[in-house]
Structure 1
Amino acid sequence: LIEQAEQGVDYFTIHAGVLLRYVPMTANRMTGIVSRGGSIMAKWCLAHHKESFLYTHFEDICEIMKAYDVAFSLGDGLRPGSIYDANDDAQLGELKTLGELTQVAWKHDVQVMIEGPGHVPMQLIKENMDLQLEQCHEAPFYTLGPLTTDIAPGYDHITSGIGAAMIGWYGTAMLCYVTPKEHLGLPDKDDVKEGIITYKLAAHAADLAKGHPGAQIRDNALSKARFEFRWDDQFNLGLDPEKAKSFHDETLPKESAKVAHFCSMCGPHFCSMKITQDVREYAAKEGLNEADALAKGMEVKAVEFVKQGAEVYRKV
């Protein structure tokens, strides 16, 4: 610890909540102990049949942390590794211990954040957040997702992004992102990009739900650009401008398409936003509100239809 603190590390993850008495609680789990640090400490406790030295020497560790102004990330070594194991006695027992250790660290003027799960179905996410706030005295919560289902290897950035948005709304302080390679292998730079963008999306959705000042400004700006067919502004205001532009270019690659008042989904004649703009322009020209303009426009088109022979299908 001292060697790394000398090098300038900002925070250490310490799995001090994995106690000897909690280890048997994991015996009937679907996936056992999935935390690397948690499994190492559990094995140490069983091998020596002693309480974790990280727990018994926690105050000594606090003195090192204070001396070097390093923060604690109190690790969730008994986090659930499957939906089946979520919110079990082992997980919640450790959480209570982390709350106890939080107060010890604060007594030494050391900053603390609490690591959270993991794999949690949507209906149990709020309970996780509420218990953490209560038992850890509102210390910042830092969650890995949580993943809301186990059935999507290759898409766990999405399964966890759902949980991240929810727990972000309920009050977590920091999100640890997940890549598409989770459970499958070491991510490459493209996986990292995909995971980070997914989590920026989740965090922003949570900020919107919480009503953070300024959170909706970017949404409003993009929506206005979309309605006004400012395609380049749409791309650049999004989380991944390159991907948005490449998708648009697949069907409308010409530069002229970047100012067109339609996309390839509905084409030039059936774009809902273009039709709405036409209705507004017609209403302004005729001095009508939009509802009256629609009614009058329908009458005009009905007369025009009859004059042209009232044929549903035209010969071309």
Structure 2
Amino acid sequence: MSFTTQMDAARKGIVTPQMQTVAAKEKVPMEDLMDRMARGSVIIPANKNHASLQGEGVGEGLRIKVNVNLGISKDCQDMEAELDKVRTALSMHIEAIMDLSCYGKTAPFRKRLVDMSPVMIGTVPVYDAVGFCDKNLRDITVDDWFRVVEQHVVDGVDFLTIHAGLNRATAEKIKKQQRITNIVSRGGALLFSWMELNDAENPFFQHYDRLLDLCEQHDVTLSLGDGCRPGCLHDATDASQVQELISLGELTKRAWERNVQVMIEGPGHMAMNEIPGNMMLEKRLCFGAPFYVLGPLVTDVAPGYDHITAAIGGAIAAQHGADFLCYVTPAEHLRLPSLDDLKEGIMATRIAAHAADIGRGIPGARAWDDAMAKARADLDWETMFQLAMDDKRAREYRKSSMPEHQDSCSMCGKMCAVRNMNRILAGKDIQLDD
């Protein structure tokens, strides 16, 4: 029996290699995984042209996944430097990479990325349009927009961020309401500007079936972008954000009718108390589709530390329904991330994701922490390092300040609570003065 997409296969009862990989990784029964995929609450982005892909699942009952953004731009065109970031990100166990390249040799970079990456790859084709078409924004045609999308699909991209919900009706709300930051989504701003310059409807909203044709043909997942995501706390959960979310829900159902997998992108900047409600709203309005969030950043006043503000928001969001976290680095709002920024952003986001996995009761999540607790109780430093999320940093910290007694650390020395409890419970004496 043949199938067109992973969703189509699940609905027909066909087990794909990607499903087998995901079921094994997640320790989920195959019938449960296929049921969730058939309903759209779980996706496995897997372009038929991405030969090196191993497959990851995103959604209901699965581990929270982490995405890394990178790519070449006009001010930073060093392809090899970005590929170094790719290799580093892969070594740090992320599950997805979004190529946000917008200038220069975007196609060669994208092809190398797809060829070398076993994790899912996403792009935002509208970023690439001006350079791809060699035209001013005003002069790009509907056919031009779709030529760019088709090229990305053919190149093997697993998911596409498309801001199809930012239509003329939503655009009018943006113009009428008093937002502080207006539109901060780069793709959303480009499409909004094109619509205004040409007095036209969003081409991806108006010609949505044409987009679905490409996705169905190559089994590409739609990541329906939030062009109206809030760029500051003040703008969160306003009319334009909710209006776009309603549109995205309608577009989700249309995609599912064509067996095209969908996830929804979300905020953005948002106060902590608004996060649970936003997660519930997305799940309700978008019929349980997986939710992919940037942050949310829970305060606007910590430039240089936004990997922390985003990790706080990401942990809360994932605990309340988000399924996929986009990393945020210390360089957010300031510059293109360096390799060190990338590492800091990945670790902060992985911590948030794992904390949420524990809270959500994901199989195996708590066992990792229990193993670490046992190693600490035994003062088994080597096992602690092996279990650490970042074993290199843990080893470096320990080595930088070695204690007099190897069964303690330089903070407590012979007053170490764990050391002393172990000795007392073993019937041994404690000497603190020598």
TM-score band by shorter chain is: 0.7 to 0.9
- Structure 2 distance, partners of 1:197, 1:5, is 30
Matched residue, 1:265: 411
Matched residue, 1:250: 400
1:115-194 equivalences in 2 (<5 Å)? 115-194=265-344
Which string of whole-angstrom CA distances, capped at 9 and with x for unpartnered residues, describes residues 174-193 of structure 1?
A: 11111111111111111111
| 1:207 maps to 2:375 | no
| 1:65 maps to 2:218 | no
Q: Which residue, out of 162, 178, 195, partners 1:14?
A: 162
- Structure 2 distance, partners of 1:208, 1:17, is 33
- Check conservation: 1:20, 1:46, Cα contact below 8 A: no
The alpha carbon displacement at 1:279 in A equals 2.7
- Structure 2 distance, partners of 1:40, 1:149, is 26
- Structure 2 distance, partners of 1:138, 1:108, is 17
Q: Which residue, out of 86, 94, 101, partners 2:251?
A: 101
- Structure 1 distance, partners of 2:362, 2:191, is 40
- SS of the residue corresponding to residue 413 of structure 2 reads coil
| 1:83 maps to 2:233 | yes
Q: Please report the TM-score for the alignment, with normalisation by the length of structure 2.
A: 0.62
Structure showing the higher helix proportion among its residues = 1
Which string of whole-angstrom CA distances, capped at 9 and with x for unpartnered residues, describes residues 87-116 of structure 1?
A: 111111101100000011111111101011
- Structure 1 distance, partners of 2:245, 2:273, is 19
- SS of the residue corresponding to residue 263 of structure 2 reads strand
The alpha carbon displacement at 1:53 in A equals 1.6
Q: Which has the larger radius of gyration?
A: 1
Question: Could you list the runs of 4 or more consecutive aligned residues of structure 1 that deviate by over 6 angstroms after TM superposition?
Answer: none
- Structure 2 distance, partners of 1:104, 1:129, is 22
Matched residue, 1:5: 153
The alpha carbon displacement at 1:252 in A equals 0.7
- Structure 1 distance, partners of 2:390, 2:151, is 40
Which string of whole-angstrom CA distances, capped at 9 and with x for unpartnered residues, describes residues 132-180 of structure 1?
A: 0000000110111111111111111110001111111112111111111
- Structure 1 distance, partners of 2:254, 2:359, is 34
- SS of the residue corresponding to residue 292 of structure 2 reads strand
- SS of the residue corresponding to residue 222 of structure 1 reads helix
Q: Which residue, out of 277, 284, 298, partners 2:422?
A: 277
The alpha carbon displacement at 1:240 in A equals 1.0
Q: Which amino acid aligns with 2:412?
A: C
Q: Which deviates the most, 121-130 or 13-22?
A: 13-22
The alpha carbon displacement at 1:23 in A equals 2.2
The alpha carbon displacement at 1:21 in A equals 2.2
- Check conservation: 1:38, 1:78, Cα contact below 8 A: yes
- Check conservation: 1:229, 1:262, Cα contact below 8 A: yes
The alpha carbon displacement at 1:243 in A equals 1.1
Q: Which residue, out of 31, 36, 52, partners 2:186?
A: 36
Which string of whole-angstrom CA distances, capped at 9 and with x for unpartnered residues, describes residues 15-71 of structure 1?
A: 111112222433411111000110111112222223212111001111111111111
- Structure 2 distance, partners of 1:21, 1:44, is 15
- Structure 2 distance, partners of 1:71, 1:15, is 14
Which string of whole-angstrom CA distances, capped at 9 and with x for unpartnered residues, describes residues 208-238 of structure 1?
A: 0011121111111111111111112112211
Matched residue, 1:308: none
The alpha carbon displacement at 1:3 in A equals 2.1
- Structure 2 distance, partners of 1:247, 1:26, is 49
Q: Please report the TM-score for the alignment, with normalisation by the length of structure 1.
A: 0.85
The alpha carbon displacement at 1:239 in A equals 1.0
Number of residue pairs aligned between Structure 1 and Structure 2: 281
- Structure 1 distance, partners of 2:152, 2:307, is 31
- SS of the residue corresponding to residue 171 of structure 1 reads coil
- SS of the residue corresponding to residue 29 of structure 1 reads coil
- Structure 2 distance, partners of 1:22, 1:41, is 12
Where does the alignment leave 5 or more consecutive residues of structure 1 unmatched?
286-296, 302-313
- Check conservation: 1:20, 1:49, Cα contact below 8 A: no
Provide the aligned C-alpha RMSD in A.
1.8
Higher relative contact order structure (alpha carbons within 8 Å, sequence separation ≥ 6): 2
- SS of the residue corresponding to residue 182 of structure 2 reads coil
- Structure 2 distance, partners of 1:35, 1:137, is 24
Where does the alignment leave 5 or more consecutive residues of structure 2 unmatched?
1-148
- Check conservation: 1:178, 1:195, Cα contact below 8 A: yes
